[in-house]
Amino acid sequence: MGKKKSPLIWGLLLLFFAFPGARLEAEIRSSDLNSTRSVLESEWLRLKLEVMGLRLSYPAYRINLELREDNRINFVFLASGGMADHLRDIGSSEAKQVLAYHAQGIRDQVGDLIRNEFPVLWATYESNDDFVGRFLVPGEDWDDPPRELAHWKGNSFYWKP
């Protein structure tokens, strides 16, 4: 094969260098972004919880937050394999402290969200009743589904038997 450059590449390079300061227009018009939309409080809460779960997630664990059908806020804390091994290695007492710390932090973040952005809901929100969750770890084999390690209810931590 020779060392010939494609005419298309040369043409693109010429355009790139000939118009370096050319401003491109966005496809979405600003006027289209300024219209209002009506959203149910439950839909808005679901969206905010989903985004919060993503923000609270780290490589060692994934957090999913959702509004259940019974109107309780549910979290699922899915630990990575490495974190699950660490929790096993440190023993149940210390692992309970670690997981309870995470549940309390998630609970506090959800409470702040509801207090600051959902004042009507905040008037009746009670974390003892309205906030529950589960802690999951990877299954034994690669194809196994996650298994429940513990759950959180009534502001308390419970090991799964």
Per-residue pLDDT tens for 36-60? 889 999 999 999 999 999 999 999 9
| 1 lies in some domain | no
- Domain carrying residue 54: 38-159
Spatial contact of 61 and 78, defined as CB atoms under 8 Å apart: yes
Identity of the amino acid at 127: S
Residue 4 lies in a domain: no
- Tell me if 138 is assigned to some domain: yes
What total number of domains does the chain contain?
A: 1
Is there a domain that residue 100 lies in?
yes
Per-residue confidence at 22, pLDDT binned at 50, 70, 90? Answer: low
What average pLDDT does the chain have?
Answer: 91
Structure-token match 């439950």, residue found:
42
pLDDT for 145: 96
**Residues linked to residue 77 through DSSP beta bridges, in sequence order:** 63, 135
In a domain, 13, yes or no: no
User: Is residue 68 a part of any domain in this protein?
Assistant: yes
The answer to whether 105 and 52 are in contact (CB under 8 A) is no
Region label for 155, one of left (φ > 0), alpha (ψ between -120 and 50) or beta (otherwise)? left
Of the chain, the percentage scoring pLDDT greater than 90 comes to: 75
Cβ pair 47, 41 in contact under 8 A: no
Is residue 120 in some structural domain?
yes
Classify residue 28: in a domain, yes or no.
no
State pLDDT tens for residues 72-93.
Answer: 999 999 999 999 999 999 999 9
